[in-house]
A = this chain, B = another copy of it.
Amino acid sequence: MENIFDQIIQHISIHVPLTESEQQVIIGYLTTRRIKKRQFLVSEGEHCRTEHFIAKGCLRSYYVDEKGKEYLLRFATENYWITDLNSFTNNVPSTQFIEALEDSEVICITRQALDCLLIDLPKLHKYFMLIYRNAIINNYDRIQQNFSLPALERYRNFQKKYPQLEQRVPRYMIASYLGITPEFLSKLSAQK
């Protein structure tokens, strides 16, 4: 049976080659957590003390305003990291919820463990630099699309960028991600 940690090791190795012993160092800092559909990995108000690499499953992060309205921040599936980065980095209460949309399995690293790991293996800074850079590029891409593209084009781009995701998450969440109503999304998806 494949070890769950093989997946994260493979993902890191795409960006930073690792020796066998370096792989073992990394694994020594990791833990795993199973999380059932509709359970929360992070809730607003609590300190988010771990970063999570998704080995299996699908999660979303969202924000709830004072009136109780939800705003979808992002979806994350296999091989993506998810956390409330501000809470994790600056040790402040989380402003987000992170919820499993399927039974999921995540690989966890605490802030303290990550700090130690980066001291033990400084070459991993490169990995996180690249991961974070991609996150920035994705954020700006989404912001610019929301500014200016018609909903149909945003929807088509979403389908291209996240194939299969539409089959894995409720439709109203995709509508929320695209900034449109579920009814309007139904109309769009009926169009060829």
Contacts and interface: CB of A to CB of B under 8 A. Distances in A.
Interface of A: 63, 65-66, 69, 71, 73, 85-86, 89-90, 95, 118, 122-123, 125-126, 128-129, 132-133, 135-137, 139-141, 143-144, 147-148
Copies of this chain present in the complex amount to 2
Interface of A is mostly: helix
Given A129-B129, A132-B133, A73 B143 contact: yes
A73 B63 CA distance: 21
Contact of A86 (B71, B137, B148): B137
Given A122-B123, A136-B139, A139-B136, A144 B89 contact: no
A85 B140 contact: yes
A71 B148 CA distance: 9
B89 A147 contact: no
Given A86-B140, A95-B144, A132-B136, 5 more contacts: A71-B144, A73-B140, A122-B122, A122-B126, A136-B139
Contacts of A141: 86
7 contacts: A63-B148, A69-B148, A122-B126, A132-B132, A139-B139, A139-B143, A143-B143
Contacts of A147: 63, 65, 71
Contacts of A85: 133, 136-137, 140
